A = this chain, B = another copy of it.
């Protein structure tokens, strides 16, 4: 019996309580254990671990770690599996993972998860947000979820993010955007922070929509503390999610890595208000790097709180979005049957050029009060009488010009 299987069996009860479905068999149990364990020793986005898992699987990687194997064993296992990790890299990896191996802490973390009702979602689960797999070797090993797992797997999701230091303007725009997106059938994804994130969640909840918050620490302790009630409300109808185990504290690195999940778990990201150095630009950068649609809401150029959004428009080729309709369009239109999809024909794109050039010239030459004869109109607009006659016929048809016993009149508007 392998070390992984033996330890997994020892934790079977705890592992069962952190799964939403019964554990089917021994290999599933091992996989759950291995991913939870590896997630407790590696920092989010550890590419070396991602490569090891790609080569020998999570169970294989956990096995090497548990056996306190020499790097040579890992290199050997990877080489046999066709991996490309050399001795030096293997040594580096084990040197940073091994010191964090703590069986007691790991067991307590599982107990804490069970206590708060957090479930561990795995890549093989139906509710797994497939978008995060595009992170490749930087994809999360698993996701700890409080709330409804299926809120995560929604295909129609959009991230609304922004600065903590939001203005009334930013909050207003976010409120309208989130409510409008919920109305169109979207799940609103954000980071649970103060400011824009919080407003995005609140407005979605107020519209009876589904919203998902990704945290930078364990889901057992809501951060920020001032959002404890908000996050609890999100748990009730949506989901609060983290790739970090219960007990893990949020750190700057983990915030940056959490941002990559927000970008990867949604179809597109919109930054609603952000200063020049706002952390939400990092989320935007991840969205852009993943080739996901990226939108930015402009604001007054006199407001430093919008400088980051303007920067995204200038430097990141973000799309300028001004309302929920345009945000929905950014990721491909409304998703709820019956939701209003963008109708390209509803905008006549008129810029005063809607009428033809000739029509403009003929209208210029007409008066609303003094009827003018055809030749007079032709001379005034510098066109031939026959051309003018053709245009007048068209203008008459759309009620912009009318005949009079003494010639032609322009129809007054409004």
Contacts and interface: CB of A to CB of B under 8 A. Distances in A.
Contacts of A314: 319-321, 326
A340 interface: no
Interface in A302-322: 302, 306-307, 310, 313-315, 319-322
A256 interface: yes
Interface in A19-63: 41-43, 46
A379 B298 contact: no
B310 A382 contact: no
Contacts of A310: 298, 320, 322
A361 to B, nearest CB: 4
8 contacts: A251-B365, A252-B363, A253-B357, A298-B306, A298-B320, A307-B322, A313-B313, A314-B321
Contact of A169 (B282, B300, B320): B300
A264 interface: no
A319 B251 CA distance: 36
List 6 tightest A-B contacts by C-beta distance, closest first.
A298-B298, A313-B320, A251-B364, A301-B322, A95-B384, A281-B351
A277 interface: yes
A322 B312 CA distance: 12
Q: Which of A92, A378, A384 has the most CB of B within 10 A?
A: A384
Contacts of A383: 96
A157 B42 CA distance: 57
A42 B319 contact: no
A297 interface: yes
Contacts of A297: 301
A253 B385 CA distance: 18
Interface of A: 41-43, 46, 92, 95-97, 99-100, 169, 172-173, 251-254, 256, 277-279, 281-282, 285, 297-302, 306-307, 310, 313-315, 319-323, 326, 349-353, 357, 360-361, 363-365, 375, 378-379, 381-385, 387
A96 B384 contact: yes
Contacts of A363: 252
Q: Which of A42, A96, A279 has the most CB of B within 10 A?
A: A96
Contacts of A357: 253, 256
Nearest to A306: B298
A351 B289 CA distance: 15
Q: Which of A100, A302, A349, A357 has the most CB of B within 10 A?
A: A302
A252 B364 contact: yes
Nearest to A362: B253
A318 to B, nearest CB: 9
A193 B299 CA distance: 25
Contacts of A313: 298, 313, 320
B302 A173 contact: yes
A395 to B, nearest CB: 13
Contacts of A315: 349
A282 B352 contact: yes
A326 B277 CA distance: 18
